Amino acid sequence: MQTMKTYTLEISRAADKFFKKHPAEEKKIKEIFETIAKNPSEHIQFYDIKICRGNLDGLMRLKTGKYRTIFKIINDRLIIFLIKIDSRGDVYKN
């Protein structure tokens, strides 16, 4: 039987700054990503996640209420990297 390796959650400085201002959102978002980290290919389907296009091509976004989390799954290093978290209108701006 093959054992699944758990992915590590890495958080950018920008995402960490968001978490400091929004502790309730931090708890909710981290719980979602801890579940996904156990087996991304299986658990990702249970959340509102889409692949980004345009200037965010290759990244993914998670929708939680009025906030969006931009992230990347790095399979060869078993990392889920949270890049940016913000409201819908601001998260896609550079």
The confidence score (pLDDT) of residue 41 equals 85
Q: In the CATH scheme, what is the code of domain 8-86?
A: 3.30.2310.20
The confidence score (pLDDT) of residue 3 equals 55
Percent of the chain with pLDDT over 70: 95
What are the helix and strand counts (H, E) for the chain?
A: 4, 5
By DSSP bridging, strand 67-74 and strand 60-64 are: antiparallel
Domain chopping of the chain, boundaries = 8-86
Model confidence, pTM: 0.90
pLDDT in tens, the chain (94 residues): 455 688 999 999 999 999 999 999 999 999 999 999 998 888 888 999 999 998 889 899 999 999 999 999 999 999 999 999 999 888 887 6
- Are the CB atoms for 25 and 18 separated by under 8 Å? yes
Extract long-range pairs of 22-26: CB within 8 Å, 24+ residues apart.
22/67, 25/64, 25/65, 25/67, 25/85
